[in-house]
A and B are shown apart, each in its own frame.
Chain A
Amino acid sequence: MSQAAPDQTFETIADIIAETANVDRAKITPEAHVINDLGIDSLDFLDIVFEIDKRFGIKVPVEAWTEQVNSGKAPAEQFFVMGPLAERIEELVAAKQA
């Protein structure tokens, strides 16, 4: 797929989360933490990542992200807050197209 505008990427991910995990769409803001604020558990997160992988034609590196967070190399907010998450997805899409 062609690279989406940042706002469109956020909207697409928010729609996926709302539909997949039955989360109130109004709660899904750029500042929302997917686990702490939206209550997404690990199994729902797998479903969400599967949908993101399919929709954007990428492979979200969840294991590498988790490793970076667990080792203290990156803050969790870099990957698991909606705004930064949309930016990471855009980067992955751009990297695939490069």
Chain B
Amino acid sequence: MRLEYFEMIDRVTSREEARLVAEARVPEASPVFEGHFPGFPLLPGVLMVETMAQACGWLMLARSGFTRMALLAKVGEAKMRGMVKPGAILTVTAELIHDGSGYAVLKGILADGNTRVAEAELTLRTMTFPSPDLEQAVRTRAAAIGLAA
């Protein structure tokens, strides 16, 4: 994870037609932890949701052959079940519930070891890339995290 750059997913470990699993290593230090919270650093809940959303986004990107990007539109049934501390190695799972026309609904699950720390139902809008530069940047990032483009 590079929290300041919103790069939440480090490595995709498996991908199936409707499921993607990835690894996200919480950094030991980050300016985020200076405020959240002083002397008691925790990964903010909104960044847990973002991490699940990004895993879901990568799944949808891969399903489209990297021709369509995905944008978070709705967070439903979100539960933060546990605290995540610096240095944690998280497993992020994205499961497709429904692939609609111009949108998709997915389940995101975040686990620290065998402990589920967060989950949510996420709705993503899917759309063509607004620019070739962005499409290329996404493909480059996909390759970097081990997701074949």
Interface size on A, residues (CB 8 A): 14
Other-chain contact of B100, A43, A59, A66 (Cβ < 8 Å): A59
Mark contacts of B54-78 with chain A using CB atoms, 8 A cut-off: 1 yes-contact digit, 0 otherwise: 0000000000000000000110000
Considering only residues 89-135 of chain B, those with a C-beta below 8 Å from chain A are 98-103, 105, 123, 125
A/B pair count, beta carbons within 8 Å: 35
- A62 located at the interface, meaning its Cβ lies under 8 Å from any Cβ of chain B in the complex: yes
Q: Taking the nearest CB of chain B, how far is it from the CB of A20, in angstroms? A: 12
Tell me the bound Cα distance from A59 to B100 in angstroms. 6
A46-B123, A46-B125 known; A64 vs B73 contact (CB < 8 Å): no
Contact indicator B123/A59 (Cβ below 8 Å): no
The minimal Cβ–Cβ distance linking B122 to chain A, given in whole angstroms, is 12
Q: Chain B: interface residue count, which band? A: 10 to 19
Tell me which residues across on chain A come within 8 A of B101, comparing CB atoms: 49, 59-64
For B102, the chain A residues whose CB sits under 8 A away are 62-63, 66
In the assembled complex, the CB of B38 is this many whole angstroms from the nearest CB of chain A, namely: 36
Distance from B78 Cβ to chain A, minimum over Cβ atoms (Å): 16
- Per the bound structure, the CA–CA distance linking A59 and B99 in Å amounts to 8
Interface residues of B (CB under 8 A from A): 73-74, 98-103, 105, 123, 125
A interface, CB within 8 angstroms of B = 43, 46-47, 49-50, 53-54, 59-64, 66
Please name the 6 residue pairs, one residue from A and one from B, whose CB atoms are nearest each other, closest first: A63-B102, A62-B101, A63-B101, A61-B101, A46-B103, A62-B102
Other than the given A46-B123, A59-B99, 14 more pairs (CB < 8 A) read A46-B74, A46-B125, A47-B123, A49-B101, A49-B103, A50-B98, A53-B100, A59-B101, A60-B100, A61-B101, A62-B100, A62-B102, A62-B103, A66-B102
